Amino acid sequence: MRLYLFRHGEATSDAENPKRPLSAAGRAEVEQMARYLTRVAAAPEDLVVRHSGKLRAVQTADILAAHLRLQQPPGQAEGLAPGDPPERTLDLIDAAESDLMLVGHLPHLGRLASLLLSGESDRISFVLPAAAVVCLEAESGRWRLHWLITPALIG
């Protein structure tokens, strides 16, 4: 199984809009990443995408879904908010019947990656830039880092 952790694109400031939608630059970076993932066939057709429900994550997931031609639309999942403990996400991952992409936020995604890779949510300092994606792969009951792509790498 592959697990994709995708940090939402750059959002507007709280002062600009308290709902914090994607900025124009954030939308462009997510589009760029989605086109790249489609080109390199990094995401399978049966990929399931879940997001935190926060506007910037919903918008990011919708852009990804449009490019990746998902069989089902992205949906909201509990436990993906910025401050949620990563342990809350393990049931969602364990229940997945196909590859899974979680669209969320820091520090949650970084702490989740650390938990899966090391067994402790605070052992590895894992910081994803906006619109970056990390792919983890489960192998023999253990997770390993498969790849990491940031907008700067493909831009």
CATH class as words, domain 2-154: alpha beta
Over the chain (155 residues), the average pLDDT of each successive run of 10 is 96 96 98 92 82 98 92 95 96 95 97 97 93 94 94 91
Q: Are 136 and 5 in contact (CB under 8 A)?
A: yes
Query: What is the Cα–Cα distance from 150 to 7, expressed in whole angstroms?
Result: 10
Start-to-end Cα distance in the chain: 28
In this structure, what is the dihedral angle of CA atoms 69, 78, 115, 117, given to the nearest 10 degrees?
Answer: -10
Identify the pLDDT of residue 141: 86
- pLDDT value of residue 129: 97
C-alpha to C-alpha distance for 3 and 129, rounded to whole angstroms = 18
pLDDT of residue 77: 98
The string over 80-89, giving b where at least 16 C-beta atoms fall within 10 Å of a residue's C-beta and e elsewhere, is beeebebeeb
Q: Where are the alpha helices (DSSP H) in the chain?
A: 24-39, 55-68, 90-95, 108-118, 151-154
- Burial of 150: CB neighbours in 10 Å, binned 0-12, 13-18, 19+: middle
Report pLDDT for 41: 66
So where are the chain's domains? 2-154
Contact by Cβ (8 Å): 63, 117: no
| pLDDT at residue number 40 | 82
State how far the Cα of 40 lies from the Cα of 22, in Å rounded to an integer.
25
Q: What is the pLDDT of residue 42?
A: 67
